[in-house]
Structure 1
């Protein structure tokens, strides 16, 4: 294909402007690495209409791409199912069994966001896909708080917050005892903190 000098110069100019625009967007992108010691997924579930059982998953890993100026964000989280703890060893064993989470077959769960909703620069909700027990379904996490600060311990910026949602466990094939009066709804509370990785700003 033959291009005139004028057309060639115009093409180069457009490409350069587009590249600068892309660099500008990327320049405002900040990548944060999740801190497993301050990131957890906790749950509560009704116990046959009597008390409420609680437990959590710990040692979560992943990353956050946080762009408040552009009102964009991304979070990817890996949940080690074997970390489940309720404080009661027998109950932990039962929940890890094939009756519930079947940890031997499904040792890991994942959450990957698809969109973030902001009010100004304030995070409101995070929508995404939760892969659990071999199945993937969308969920919406509501932020009860989200903030960034300069950590005096880590000597870098840290961002994080608390998020919550309620899911129907039967959508992920967790149906044990639902026909015996144990509720299918599970409340999740996600605690997330992530530190700015070197070389990002």
Structure 2
């Protein structure tokens, strides 16, 4: 078992702090045989969310310019991904609402400027051309880490005519209980704790 630090995480926080963050979160990265390395393309990587608003409309927003690294081999049916989610990229289309969500009542971005996702296990179909079906991992948000399971709605690779490189990526969904990460505002007033997440990633082969 070999512990690795991705270059993006080192660049974002510096190696000593990044090592402490990953170790504290229990999300060490193991090497994957035969897997190619892909760097996340920030222009095609985001996490969007949707939450019911007291049984009426649905509040939506997203975080953008994600960075990180993907290790992937469909032949060996192996995968691994680490994502850095910059919380200050939060956008809902409503500036006043953005300010509220960035406050210590919700995401508290001054204290926790980034969130992280690190996969622990990938699942593939049994077809002759195996497809990614599910990814288990750990989400670190507001300094707390809890397991989540992502369902792959699609995942594919192609040769990018722009990047002149092989690109792999797809769309994933999950539903989380926000109170597990210490975001419980308005739950006592009837606002749901369930939040739907939609994750989009693309990564270019190195």
TM-score category (smaller protein): 0.7 to 0.9
Could you list the runs of 5+ residues in structure 1 that have no partner in the other structure?
Answer: 1-24
Q: Map of 1:74-153 to 2, 5 A cutoff?
A: 74-120=80-126, 121-153=130-162
State how far apart, in whole Å, the 1-side matches of 2:113 and 2:70 are. Answer: 23
2:139 and 2:32 map into 1 onto residues whose CA distance is 27
Count of residue correspondences: 173
Distance in 1 of aligned mates of 2:32 and 2:132: 20
Distance 1:91 1:33 in 2: 32
Moved more, 188-197 or 26-35: 26-35
2:51 — aligned with what? 45
What is the Cα deviation at residue 27 of structure 1?
7.0
Alignment of 1:160 with 2:169, yes or no, is yes
Does the residue aligned with 2:100 lie in a helix, a strand or coil? helix
Instruction: Name the counterpart of 2:19.
Output: none
The TM-score with structure 2 as length reference comes to 0.82
Deviations 1:148-196 (A, max 9, x none): 0000011010000000000000011100000011110000000000000
RMSD: 1.2
Structure 2: which 5+ runs fail to align? 1-30
Give the match's secondary structure for 1:48: coil
1:30 is aligned to 2:39: no
Cα distance change on mapping 1:27 and 1:182 into 2, 3 Å: closer
The TM-score with structure 1 as length reference comes to: 0.84
**Aligned residue number for residue 196 of structure 1:** 205
The answer to whether the 8 Å contact 2:70/2:79 transfers is yes
State the shift of 1:46 in Å.
Answer: 0.9
CA distance in 2, matches of 1:175, 1:122: 36
Structure label with greater radius of gyration: 1
Q: Post-superposition, which runs of at least 4 consecutive aligned residues in structure 1 deviate over 6 A?
A: none
Separation in structure 2 between the aligned mates of residue 87 and residue 127 of structure 1, nearest angstrom: 31
- 1:92 positional shift: 0.1
